[in-house]
Homo-oligomer: A and B are copies of this chain.
């Protein structure tokens, strides 16, 4: 089983492992093939990629029973966790106390789509390297940079001069009308509780206007709308 304290983690599935080998091949430690995969036309492709990256392989059924509970999975990659750091000259997506692994994965996938390559996680946070998160990113995890901070203040100290847009249900500024700075961070709170009160006095409060029930957007949906709107005016999506 995967543990947060492990130095390595896993890509469960052929396409995820393909992403690992093609984007972070230098981090890959081992690739495991399920016996059923040997007849796949992709098998020789993987064997060559592993050879090119000097990654040992083995055919082993046990690890599949141990790591992939339900989902059908025929290839597993093991890789060394890495720290990327974030670029302070870029705009950031900040997730404060995110708790759901599927949500984090989906958000990473969306962030990449809108050119947000730098993701900040304020603790407590779910573990970005949990195989469930990695799976939900559909490989986008290998394209982002990320950093954990113990508190939002710790992040602010390093984040330099920038505007903060804090998405809150009690904010009065309508996302569609908010004046967008050039250099900024978009800040989202926890799935159930949102951003805590102290954020009422940080940066600009932003509201996604919805009809009827104010409570009707899931976190990945709210984040995606925020990313979309903030890059909407770009001739191209943000680079």
> B-contacting residues of A (Cβ < 8 Å)?
106, 109-110, 112-115, 138, 140, 143, 176, 208-213, 215-218, 220-221, 224-225, 228-229, 232, 236-239
- Shortest distance between the CB of A116 and any CB in chain B (Å): 9
- Would you list 27 pairs from A and B whose C-beta atoms are within 8 A, ordered by A residue? A109-B216, A109-B217, A109-B218, A110-B216, A110-B217, A110-B218, A112-B211, A113-B210, A113-B211, A113-B216, A113-B217, A114-B210, A114-B211, A138-B216, A140-B213, A143-B212, A143-B213, A176-B232, A208-B228, A209-B236, A210-B237, A211-B237, A211-B238, A220-B220, A221-B224, A225-B228, A228-B229
Return the contact of A221 from the options B140, B209, B221, B236 (Cβ within 8 A): B221
- Shortest distance between the CB of A92 and any CB in chain B (Å): 16
A212 vs B218: C-alpha distance when bound (angstroms): 25
A212 touches B112 (CB 8 A): yes
Known A112-B211, A140-B213; 18 more pairs at CB < 8 Å:
A106-B221, A109-B216, A109-B217, A109-B218, A112-B216, A113-B211, A113-B212, A113-B213, A138-B216, A143-B213, A209-B236, A209-B237, A211-B238, A211-B239, A220-B221, A224-B224, A225-B225, A225-B228
A221 vs B137: C-alpha distance when bound (angstroms): 13
Report chain B residues within 8 Å CB of A113.
Answer: 210-213, 216-217
Report chain B residues within 8 Å CB of A228.
Answer: 208, 225, 228-229
- Shortest distance between the CB of A97 and any CB in chain B (Å): 20
Task: Tell me how many chains of this kind the complex includes.
Answer: 2
A210 vs B112: C-alpha distance when bound (angstroms): 8
| CB-based closest 3 A-B pairs | A113-B216, A115-B211, A113-B210
* Candidate in A176, A211, A229 with the most chain B CB atoms within 10 angstroms: A211
- Shortest distance between the CB of A160 and any CB in chain B (Å): 23
A229 vs B216: C-alpha distance when bound (angstroms): 17
A83 vs B233: C-alpha distance when bound (angstroms): 42
A220 vs B239: C-alpha distance when bound (angstroms): 24
A229 vs B143: C-alpha distance when bound (angstroms): 27
Instruction: Across the interface, name the chain B residue whose C-beta is closest to A232.
Output: B176
Report chain B residues within 8 Å CB of A213.
Answer: 112-113, 140, 143
Report chain B residues within 8 Å CB of A232.
Answer: 176
A113 vs B175: C-alpha distance when bound (angstroms): 15
